[in-house]
Structures are given as C-alpha cells and as structure tokens.
Amino acid sequence: MKKKYLIIILFFTTIIQAQNLETSPFIEIVGTAEKEIIPNEILIAITLKEQAEGRNKITIEQQETLLLNELKKQSISLNKLTFDNANAYQLRVRKKTNELVTQKNFTLKLNTIEEINRALDAFDDAKIKSFYIEEMSHSDIELYRKEVKILALQAAKNKATYLLESINQKVGNALEVIEVSEGNSIIGRPNAVLTSEFEQKNDIGLKPILVKFSIKAKFEIK
C-alpha cells in the first residue's frame, strides 16, 4: 500500500508542476545573429575541353600542360590541384560532324584571396575558359556556427529584457529554446557586388561567408 501511495503522490506532484509551467506567464522571443567569415577553403572547378584557334586544335593534353606550367609560375603548388576521376574524359557527340569530344575536370583548392588572384592570372595565361567557384568554407566553420547560435540566444534574452523592463517586469529562467530552421543559413556568395575590403581584394567578386542563425526562446516573466 505504501508503494501505491508513493506512486500516486509523485504522479499528482508531477501534474501540479506541469500545470504551473503551463500557466506561468512567459514571453516568447526570436533572436537572430549573423557573422561574416573570410573563407580559407575555396574550391575552384576547372574543365578542360578541346578548343580551336582558327584551323588548329588545342588538345586537352596541351591545355593541361599549359595550366600546370602557369600554376607553377604563379607559385601555386600542384598538390592543390586534384583530378576528378568521376567526371574524367566524358564523351559526347557533336551533332553535325558526329565527332567525339572529350573533357577533363580538375578541382583547385586555395586558401587565400592572393592565391585566387594568382590562379586567375594562370588561367588567363593558359587560356582556360571554363572554371567556377564550386564551394567556399572555413576550417573552423563549426566553431563559428556555435558562436553565432550563442549570440542569437543572447539577442533573444536581451530583447525580452528590454521589452519587459518597459512594463516594470523582469526576465526569469528560460523555459524553452528552439532553433528556427528556416532562419538559419551558411551562405557563400560568390557573385555579389563588391562592398568589403575582402571583396575589393579579389578579381571575381567573392564575398565573405555569411553565417546566420535564429533562436526562438521562451522566458518566464517574474
């Protein structure tokens, strides 16, 4: 019997506590924070295809040799260049001549804007026409994500604080904290208009990575 009484008392106490939480006055706020990060991992996808200069063909092998030589001249280590086996030598047929055309794909991993600018000079001198920014990131991106989430939660609490102070009330304990997924993003913006010093130092309009998070928090009102 004692065990039954104990279970009933505990169950009853839990119900009362839950009801108190539901009926306690609270304020619900969404806090947002963002941070721009200069990327230090930039992947450039390069595609080599047969080209024609007048009646002369420039083969993929010739272009590859030119590319490697120009990268060396620009003091860019060839260890940063990887051959994409998955998409190597894809074949397609020219409609008019029924001729097979090959292409070869590479990825160049760079770490600084200075390297990017030197790589662009190498592409220009090697007459490489097909390349684009495939991905931008940072080696410490997870640390920045954590930092921005904390800032977003702090922003929510600060907002709740000044709103409640305007009616002579105070913020209590946090009752609930939820990430607002639709407001969260990590964006590398490769083709936007130049605005910052970082953007002005590169020749292709790279913008910093934007890390942005929104946190919805529910606080008790004292």
Do 150 and 185 lie in one domain? The reply is yes
Do 132 and 144 lie in one domain? The reply is no
Interior CA angle at 133 toward 129 and 139, to 5°? 145
Do 158 and 48 lie in one domain? The reply is no
Q: Is 9 inside any structural domain?
A: no
Do 146 and 217 lie in one domain? The reply is yes
Q: Is 67 inside any structural domain?
A: yes
pLDDT bucket at 17, cuts 50 / 70 / 90: very low
What confidence tens digit (pLDDT) does each residue in 147-172 have?
A: 999 999 999 999 999 999 999 999 99
> How far from the centroid of its chain's Cα atoms is residue 166's Cα?
38
- Check: CB of residue 136 under 8 Å from CB of residue 190: yes
Per-residue pLDDT for 211 more than 90? yes
Q: Is 10 inside any structural domain?
A: no
Do 213 and 147 lie in one domain? The reply is yes
Torsion of CA 207, 193, 187, 150, to 10 degrees: 80
Residue 100: per-residue pLDDT: 55
Q: Is 100 inside any structural domain?
A: yes
Do 34 and 71 lie in one domain? The reply is no
Do 52 and 30 lie in one domain? The reply is no
Find the CATH number of the domain harbouring 103: 3.30.70.120
Do 57 and 108 lie in one domain? The reply is yes
The more confidently predicted of residues 2 and 43 is: 43
Residue 30: per-residue pLDDT: 96
Total count of domains within the chain: 2
Do 153 and 103 lie in one domain? The reply is no
Distance (Å, rounded) from C-alpha 207 to C-alpha 136?
A: 10
Place of tokens 């794909």: 105
Do 74 and 132 lie in one domain? The reply is yes
pLDDT bucket at 24, cuts 50 / 70 / 90: confident
Q: Is 60 inside any structural domain?
A: yes
Per-residue pLDDT for 19 more than 60? no
Q: Is 17 inside any structural domain?
A: no
Q: Is 182 inside any structural domain?
A: yes
Give percent above pLDDT 90 in the chain. 55
pLDDT bucket at 13, cuts 50 / 70 / 90: very low
Residues spanned by the domain of 153:
25-38+140-221
Q: Encode burial over 168-189: b for 16+ CB neighbours within 10 A, e otherwise.
A: eeebbeeeeeeeeeeebebebb
Do 79 and 47 lie in one domain? The reply is yes
Residue after which a domain boundary falls, among 137, 166, 194: 137
What confidence tens digit (pLDDT) does each residue in 39-88 have?
A: 999 999 999 988 777 778 888 889 999 999 999 999 999 999 998 864 54
Tokens of 99: 């001729």
Residue 58: per-residue pLDDT: 82
Residue after which a domain boundary falls, among 137, 159, 182: 137
Average pLDDT on 114-126 reads 93
Mean pLDDT for all residues in the chain: 80
Do 62 and 34 lie in one domain? The reply is no
Q: How far are the Cα atoms of 48, 81, 109, 130, 141 from residue 106, in angstroms, in the given order?
A: 8, 7, 10, 11, 25
The more confidently predicted of residues 114 and 58 is: 114
Average pLDDT on 17-40 reads 82
Q: How far are the Cα atoms of 152, 156, 175 from residue 178, in angstroms, in the given order?
A: 11, 11, 10
Find the CATH number of the domain harbouring 197: 3.30.110.170
